[in-house]
Structure formats: structure tokens, C-alpha cells
Chains A and B, each alone.
Chain A
Amino acid sequence: MNRLPAPFGSRIDRSRPVRFTFEGKSFEGFEGDCIASALAASGQWVLSRSFKYHRRRGVMSMTGADANALVQLPADPNAPAELTRLREGMRVTAQNVNGSLEHDRDAIIDRFGRFLPVGFYYRTFMGPGSNGWYRLWEPMIRRKAGLGIVDTAAEHRDFDKAHLHCDVLVVGAGPAGLAAAIDAAEGGADVVLCDENPEIGGSLTWGRHDPNILAGLAGRLAALSNVKVLTDTVCNGWYEDNWLPLIQGNRLYRTRAREVVIATGTIRQPAIFRNNDLPGIMLGSAAQRLIRHYGVRPGATAVVQAASDEGYAVALDLLDAGVRLALVADPRPTAEAGPFERELHERGVQVERGAGVAEAEGTGGNRHLARVRVGRSWIDCDLLAVSAGEVPAWQLPCQAGGKVGYDTASAAMTLTMPDAPVRLAGGVAGLDAPQYAQPIVANKKGRDFVDFDEDLQVKDLQNAVKEGYREIELVKRFTTVGMGPSQGRHSALATARIVAEATSRTVAAVGVTTARPPVGPEILGVLAGHHEPPERRTALHARHLALGAVMKPVGAWWRPYSYGAGDTAVREEILAVREGVGLLDVSTLGKLEVRGPDAGQFLDRLYTMAHASQPVGRVRYCLMLNEMGSVVDDGVAYRLADDRFYVTATTGAVARVYADMLFWNAQWRLKVDVLNLTGAFSGLNVTGPNARTVLQHLASDIDFGRDAFPYLHGREGVVAGIPVRVMRIGFTGELSFELHCPSSFAPALWDAVLVAGGRHGLRPYGLEASRILRLEKGHILIGQDTDAITTPDELGFGWAVSKKKPFFVGKRSIEMRARLGQTRKLVGLRFPADASEIPGESCLVLKDGAPAGQITSVGFSPTLGCSIALAYVHIDDAAEGSMVTVKCRSGQRLRVPVAGHAFVDPSNARQEL
């Protein structure tokens, strides 16, 4: 075991062991361990295989910022072993292996790397043949690509979303973030402080710092009641107006902050030399995290590459942890000895100046680091701790408009922020010390990795430039550098230096690639949140269920599809309407009240027909166009009074119609008020030859007689003690009365109509019967039989367009479009009863072999005993009796005659009974 005694291991509870398996082998860690630390404590340093060459990889950063430590959990691929907290019974496996982690058959690729140069796939996957990609390469790449496996049978997890508001959001609870949060809170601000770690303190918790600093800050913070501290929380992006997603486990905080302070610190950088990816080679900060957070000794014998003063602190920490220091190599030729270096000298550690690690070698199969070469000397060690410099964590600042620069004198990446309520604090705002820019020279034998995620070596990037890709964004796309899980955290600066060198430009001129949200990987379930599907129910919902309705969603609404399952039920419902009387819940219809002295004028401007002159008590068809002259909705307008219209709109379009009405009302400034009554009023359609008789059996002050209540008239009154608005309109082609009432009365009205209709065979019918009934009558459904460019003329609705009105929305456009000539028209098609195949909706209608239109609605008509359809056909084929060709799904072509506008009762005698 590599466990160190307390006080090392601030995060673990040694009294609570946790058992788990990795690659089927049993391990034990402690509560508070992450997977990687528990494995490391047991001597298991290899965590994964690399993406391309399948090389063994292990702990590198202990921040979860790279692909080295991604593992598979039963329900989660790509779990970062360096961050994922250990749980009892956890089953962890390696991913991206062909076989097992220990015996990965794809490891042979490592020997054939020279045949797989950067960008090889752009050339390789072109053949053989024109579809070689689909036949050969794509299936192969699918098998090899991706890390981990999604368990599609995984249990549903409960995800949570909440909104969070604050004056100041501080991202990062390291020393700078803590100070910023305390300052803001002491100034009276309402502060949220978040950090991805399980505790506050940042580098103060793992670096070689005076513990009193953290204790002091934590004490001040605890005294403030106006700071909300969110640990284990990742700020995963910055969006306009300081909107930031904070992810804490399975919860997403959608955060709105007046000001944001980004104190995300810096990202320690790896060094580049041959075999710099061996398990046992890690960032110095990773070694410190293992020691202080988890009480894990990262090795027995170490070499420290110290290109910064922090490297000396790492060396001292290793000494304190009982690690033998073979050498501290400082590649900087000259540097003034800092306090840590002086202490190291005092403790008798050998420091070699002007020397860096040039190469490493592993044990058999590169299972672990065996020795490193410094200069010409090979030094045996099982740990190489690298402190090669750092860069600001630029991702979040850049999303907020920050610009990355580079100061050649200090060899440091810099960030400048726009004038916005986003500020930087701490290391991300600027590095204290000059950085050491390691000369990057490609090793002749390669395996000097720049991007560990993508197995990219120095020569790969140099070759990309030789291929002509000089710009960093193009280099990224050609080589995939920065596309892996680390998103360039460990490769961006090195890549910029390599490209700068290869193109004889400055690092500042080359820059880094664009940083976009998310900052890190996120679980899709977190974005989806708790999924409660939106749902609307009519007031008659329970009545439908009690009658055995098959309910189906129509948008957000639940509607009865039919009462009883199967085609027979639908057929019986249709016949009931044609021969007796049916009852349909039309409550989902849009219902709007337009009222005010200018209500008629308002409708005149909005719809194509004349409404200002519409008499009170009359119902008139409404056709709405957009400014392009396309049909967007239809309905009816019932004039209740001089200053009041009751207007219906289609179920799916009423929200848009209402919004359009409000928009135009604001533009025109007429004396009009618009009210959406869709939920407030329910609607029942009583339809069929016996409809009048049924209603006449109900107590009412309305005379439902033929002459007293003609077609396209409306009445207000009381039916069965319930206040109603009744319109003599219909969608079925039969005698119809549409009864609308305040929704709380609808169940009682429904019951009363059912009782009254009982002796006349009244039968409730559902949506499918309604669809067929209207198709038999040739009525259109907006959105189904119309598209984005349908004009009234194409529907044969010239009768519904006023020629006298000087203006209505879309008038000018339909006149202009009419001058261009009409190319298609919606017609009825009637298929032979013995047709071997009936085309489906969207099947093409051809003219001389070329598409001229399409089927928009199709169905079997029990009334006619054959299938019928509405379809757009070429204008030359639109006359009744013309023959058109329809292409079925199978490719079969049918010759079908064009029918008139209505299949049933074209003279309208039935509806005007």
C-alpha cells in the first residue's frame, strides 16, 4: 500500500473503507477517495489505454482534465477517475480497450504508428470505389471510435434544475476566489461562490502553503451569511448577460449574476520529451494532490523536473512524504534560488541546473516509468514529477469575451477582458513569475506527446504545417489537436509554440483556438433535467376516460382518438355521424374574443373576408394570411355584438394567432382588446342529421328550428341551465351545432347532450373519425393541407378573399403572387376500391414524370367505400376528371382521377338541413 499517515489525506476517512472492483479485480479505498487515488494507493497506476496507439496511461493531473484517467462505470462512460468519488460496490472498468486493460489487442497499433501519420484518414478513407466509406471504413471506425459505452438500459436517474440569482458569482474558491467573495460579501453583495472541488481552498489545500492562510479565509467566510458556497460544482460556461450553468452532481443551477469574478486559477503544463506519457510521470501538482488530499505516496524514487519554483515545493513535499529524491532537474539555465530551493539544498537534495528530462523509458510493456534521461545520464526512478509552467485557465474568460495573448519576455500566456461585468482574479488574471519556454524539438523516434488525448506528437503538428495548415484553427481540424476531453488544456500553448516556430511567427500571432461552452463534459441528463412532459386537458378529460376513449397527445393536448380501440370503432363513429348524430369535444379549438369599438375594423385588417359589415348574430369564415400571402390559419368569427366578436382559431395555431393579434393591435392602435379564451371556454360539436332533434330535447331559450337558426348563424342563450354560445357551423358536412360554454360547465353540458341524444343513437366520436369526416367533405386542415407557401387560390378559396377591402394582411402579396401565375392546386383524389396500394401522405404527384405536388391527407372513407385524398396537383391537371399520376411508397405509380372539392354532399344540402 502506498498510503501515508495522517495528516496526509485531508479528503479521506480512514475509518470507513470502501470496496470496489476495477477490471474485475477487488480493491479497497476509503470514503473520500476518488477512483484514481484508491487505485494508486493499491499500486494500480494504469487506468486507461490511449485513444490512437492504445498505450498504457495513468494519473497525470489529478484534475480530471485529460483522457488518461477516463474509466467506464456501468451507467456512465468517460467517468473521470481523478474526480469520481468512490462508492461501495462500484464496478469500474477500463474503456477503449480491445480485450482488457492489461491485454489490449489494439496495442499493436503502437508499433505501426509510422503508417498512421497525422491526417492519414483524410486520404485513406476515400476508396475503394465510390461508397467505400460506407461499406468498409465507417463501420470499422465506429467500432474503434469513441471512448466508453453508453448503457441504453441504464436506470432513469433523477436530475434537478434550479435557478440561482446573485449580485456576484465567484467561480473558483482558491485563495483569490475566497478573497473576492469575502470582499464582495463584506461590501453587502449577495454572493455565490462555487468550486469544482469538494472543499474550498483550491491550491491552498494541496500546495505547500501556510495552513493559516486558508484557516483565516475560511473563518472570515463562515462569518458571512450572504455568501452561498457551492462545492463540487462546475461552472460549465458563460453566456450572454452573465448567465452561467453551475453543475453540482445531478443538479443544474441556471445562474444569473450581476457581476462575475472568474478565479479559476491556472493549468499546470506537462513537459514534452520521448515517452512523456508513461504511467508514473505526472504533474508535480498531481503528486501534491495525491499526497495531501488522499494520503497516497506517488512513488518510491522520484526525479523532479522543476522549471518553476513550484517544482521545488513539489520536491519538498515528496521528501516529506517519504519519497526518495534521485534528482531535481531545473532546465532553466539561470534562476535565483527561491526559499524552497534553498530549503532543498539544506536537506541535501541534488539539484541539477540547466538540465531537463530528455527521454523516459518504461518497464516491460511500458507498464510504468523505469528511468529517465537527464542530459546523458539515465536515472532510475518510478516517479517523474513535472513542474513545467502554467497557463491561465482561459476557457471561461474567453467565452465571456476575453482575448488570449502571449508575453514573449515572460513566456507567459495572458488574458485581457472586455469592459464587461466579468472580472478576473488570481492566477487566471496573470502569472506572478516568468515562465520557462521549453525548446520543443521533435524526437526522431517520436512518442513525445503534445496532446495526450489524441496521441499527437511534435512531428504530427510540424507535419500539419508542412501540409500547408498554418493557422491554428486549421491545424486543429487537420490534426484534431485540442479536440479531446482536455480541450487543449495541456496542449494549446505547446501547439502554439510549435506552429509559431514552424511558421516563423510569434506565439501571440498564432494564438489558441476558440473556446466555447461547455467548459467540460456534461451529462445530457443534467441538461434535460427532470422531464415532466407538458400536458393540457380539456374539461371533459374524465368524461372521455369514463367512456373508454383511446387518448392520444395532439401537441400538448390529450384528445380522444376514438371511443374503443380499432378501425371498427372509428368506422362506427363515422357512420353514426352520417346516419344519426355524433358528439365531438372541440374544446382544444382556439377561442379568442375581439372586442372594442374597432373590433370589426381590426378583423377586416387581419382576415381576408369582410367583418366590419358582418351583422350581429352571423358567423363568417375567417382566413388568415401572413405578410407573404400564405395561408396561416382559419376559423370562424361570430359577431356577438357590435363591439364583440368570438373568433375561433385552429388548435395548433391559436398561440401564434393570439400573438399576431396582439402585435398588430399594438401597431394599428385601434380601440380593441383581444382575449384568449381557449381554456376558459369549452366546445361541443353536435353533428349529424339528428343534431337538431337532440338539441330540441334540451331545455333552452334558443330556437334551434331550421328557419329560426339558419346555417352560419350564432345564438347566445341557455341550454340545460348552462350559458352557451351556439354556432351553426360544421366540419363534417352534416347538420351541425357547435355549443361553446364556460369550461366549468362543460361536463354538465356534455352529460345533458349525451342523455338527450341517447334515444337518437348519439355517439361520441374521436379525432380520427373527425379527420375522415372532414376529408370526405373536402375540408382542409391548416398545417396538414397547407404549407409555408400555400395561397388562397391554391386552395380554391378565392371566394374567401374580399376583393373590395383596401387592405388586409397579405393582400398585396397574394396579388403579386397571382401575377406570377399559379402552378398548383389542392384537389380531391379518389382511389379505386380495388387499388393494390394507396399512397401515403407526402407521396408525390407527378406531371410528365416530374414532381408537381404531393398528397396532403389520405384515408379510407367508409361512406364511399374507397380511399380518398387531398393533394396538390399541377394547375393544368386540376380540373375535375383530369387524370394524375401518384407515386406510391413502393414506387408504384397510380393513375387517379381528380374529384370535385367535396367527396360527400358537394351541394351542401346536408349541412344546411
Chain B
Amino acid sequence: MAPGIRTFPFDHGGAANGTVLPTGSVALADLTAQPRFGLKGPGSSAWLEAHGVALPPVNRVAVHQGMRVLRLGGEDMLLTAENAAPALADLQGAWTAETSAKGYSSWREEGWAWMRLSGPALQPALARLCALDLRPTRFATDEIAQTRFAGVEAVLLRTGHAFDVFFDVTASAFVARAVAAVEKHCANS
């Protein structure tokens, strides 16, 4: 199937088309179209490990062939490949071809928006968007929180000076507006 026929929320004709992503003291970048692949359910971890992926503990991140491996549960993994699309495609191809137990697709590339929150006012913004203590001293790089963000269920991952946020793709416009509103507060305070 042709990837060109896919439309993501912030694309022209997408559900969030026209919603402006904040770019000021808090910036929100849309990575929803970036490749990723999720496995969930019995057999997922065994299959990944059998293919050489060293899995991190739950709510931690590992790196495998340039891919980030986010472990969201004992049998719930998300692989993101911002700069390792070929490696992800290889792994995904092997999984599709597999005929024995291999877990199940979690459709994260369709169900979740993927956004990156950054900017000089990142911490004040996070304090307004999430109830957790996400200060660097309390929430380190490569830690994962499964929580609520802007009132929406979300997976948060600290990636150094930014946060990757995965959440229900249907709430893309709402989250962007909520972050934009917070950005204004941060800019004014």
C-alpha cells in the first residue's frame, strides 16, 4: 500500500489541520508520522528477545540498532525509529513473516500521536500539564511515566532536555491547543 495515502492529524486535510503548534517558550513538534512499532500481549517479549532486542525494565528505555525500545509493561513494548527506519522495517518485516507465537500488534503507529515537548519553559509547562513531579532531579532521562497529560491519558518519556509524549491520536488538536494555552501562561509568568 502506498504510504502517500496516509493522512496524519496535522497534515493538510488532517483532523487537526489548522491548529497551530506552539513554538515559543514551549515548543511542540509533531512526530506522529515517524516510524514506530508496538507489540503487546503474550509472546511479545520472548519474540523481541529472540531477535536480539535486550529489553529494559518496565517504564525504562533501551536502545537497539538505533531504535528506542520503550517498555510499557511486561508484555507491552513500543519501538520508535526516528533515525533508524530501516532497522525498524527489518524487524517489523520479520515479525510479520513469523508464524509462531510473536505477540500482537498494538497499532501504536495509528492509535497514538507522538509529539515532542521542549523549550526554555519546559518545566513550568510540565507543571501545568501533568500532575507528576517531572523535574530533572526526580524524573531522569529515559524514564517513562504512564499518566495524564493535558487531561489526556499519555505516555511521557524524558529525552534529555525534551519530553516525548504519546497519546490518543484523536485528541491531537486538543492537546496542541492545551499546550499553546500553557505556553502563553509560561511566557507571561
Contact = CB atoms under 8 A, between A and B. Distances in A.
Contacts of A530: 181-182, 185
Contacts of A210: none
A541 B173 CA distance: 11
A405 B48 CA distance: 65
B132 to A, nearest CB: 8
Interface stretch (A214-222, A331-339, A673-681, A731-739): A673-681
Given A673-B42, A675-B106, A744-B7, A536 B128 contact: no
B50 interface: no
Contact of A723 (B1, B9, B130, B132): B1
A680 B41 CA distance: 17
B127 A542 contact: no
B169 A165 contact: no
B46 interface: no
A190 B135 CA distance: 12
A537 B130 contact: no
A643 B140 CA distance: 39
A256 interface: yes
A137 interface: no
Interface stretch (B14-22, B51-59, B61-69, B89-97): B14-22
B15 A532 contact: no
A155 interface: no
A742 B174 contact: no
Given A165-B135, A542-B15, A675-B104, A536 B170 contact: yes
B130 A541 contact: no
B143 interface: no
B128 A539 contact: no
B138 A675 contact: no
Contact of B185 (A160, A537, A539, A675): A160
B37 to A, nearest CB: 13
A748 interface: yes
B136 interface: no
Interface in A704-738: 718, 721-723
A722 B3 CA distance: 10
A644 interface: yes
A190 B189 CA distance: 22
B1 A718 contact: yes
A678 B9 CA distance: 15
A853 B65 CA distance: 65
A539 B168 contact: no
A680 B110 CA distance: 5
Q: Which of A542, A676, A742 has the most CB of B within 10 A?
A: A542
Contact of A163 (B6, B130, B138, B177): B130
A688 B107 CA distance: 31
Contacts of B36: none
Contact of A165 (B13, B133, B178): B133
Given A163-B128, A593-B104, A675-B40, A537 B16 contact: yes
A596 B42 CA distance: 7
A595 interface: yes
A748 B6 contact: yes
Contact of A542 (B13, B124, B178, B185): B13
Contacts of B5: 721-722, 745, 748
Nearest to B180: A532
Q: Report the interface size class on chain A.
A: 35 or more
Interface string A528-543: 0010101111111111
Interface in B157-177: 168-174, 177
Interface in A646-684: 671, 673, 675-681
Nearest to B104: A595
A91 interface: no
A163 B151 CA distance: 13
Given A675-B106, A680-B110, A158 B185 contact: yes
Contact of B107 (A161, A190, A742): A742
A539 B113 CA distance: 12
A158 to B, nearest CB: 7
A887 B14 CA distance: 48
Contacts of A256: 133
A272 B189 CA distance: 46
Q: Chain A interface mostly helix, strand, loop or mixed?
A: mixed
Given A163-B130, A535-B174, A537-B16, A745 B42 contact: no
Interface string A158-199: 101111110000000000000000000000001000000000
B142 interface: no
Contact of B178 (A532, A541, A595, A597): A532
A677 B104 CA distance: 13
Nearest to A671: B42
Contact of A673 (B75, B137, B182): B75
Contacts of A596: 41-42, 104
A190 B13 CA distance: 48
A747 interface: yes
Contacts of B170: 536-539, 557, 678-679, 743
B29 interface: no
Q: Which of A671, A673, A718 has the most CB of B within 10 A?
A: A673
Contacts of B189: 160, 251
Given A530-B181, A530-B185, A745-B6, A542 B14 contact: yes
Q: Which of A163, A540, A681, A718 has the most CB of B within 10 A?
A: A163
A160 B186 CA distance: 10
Interface in A519-559: 530, 532, 534-543, 557
A680 to B, nearest CB: 3
A279 B130 CA distance: 49
B87 interface: no
A254 interface: yes
B17 A542 contact: yes
Contacts of B8: 744
B174 A536 contact: yes
B176 to A, nearest CB: 10
Contacts of A679: 110-112, 168-170
B111 A539 contact: no
Contacts of B13: 542-543, 747
A539 B112 CA distance: 12
A532 B181 contact: yes
Contact of A534 (B110, B130, B152): B152
A723 B106 CA distance: 16
Given A254-B131, A673-B41, A722-B1, A534 B169 contact: no
A256 to B, nearest CB: 7
A251 B127 CA distance: 12
B82 to A, nearest CB: 18
B33 to A, nearest CB: 8
Contacts of B16: 537
A536 to B, nearest CB: 4
A721 B41 contact: no
Contact of B7 (A165, A534, A539, A597): A539
Nearest to B151: A534
Q: Which of B17, B127, B132 has the most CB of A within 10 A?
A: B127
Q: Which of B5, B104, B127, B135 has the most CB of A within 10 A?
A: B5
Interface in A125-152: none
Interface in B81-128: 104, 106-112, 124, 127-128
Q: Which of A541, A718, A744 has the most CB of B within 10 A?
A: A744
Contacts of A745: 1, 5-7
B77 to A, nearest CB: 12
A-B pairs, top 4 by smallest CB distance, nearest first, are: A673-B41, A680-B111, A165-B133, A744-B6
Given A162-B124, A596-B104, A675-B40, 10 more contacts: A165-B133, A530-B182, A537-B9, A537-B173, A539-B14, A542-B13, A542-B17, A596-B41, A673-B104, A681-B110
Interface of B: 1-2, 5-9, 13-17, 40-42, 75, 104, 106-112, 124, 127-128, 130-133, 135, 137-138, 150-152, 168-174, 177-178, 181-182, 184-185, 189
9 contacts: A530-B181, A536-B171, A536-B174, A539-B14, A543-B13, A675-B41, A721-B2, A744-B6, A744-B109
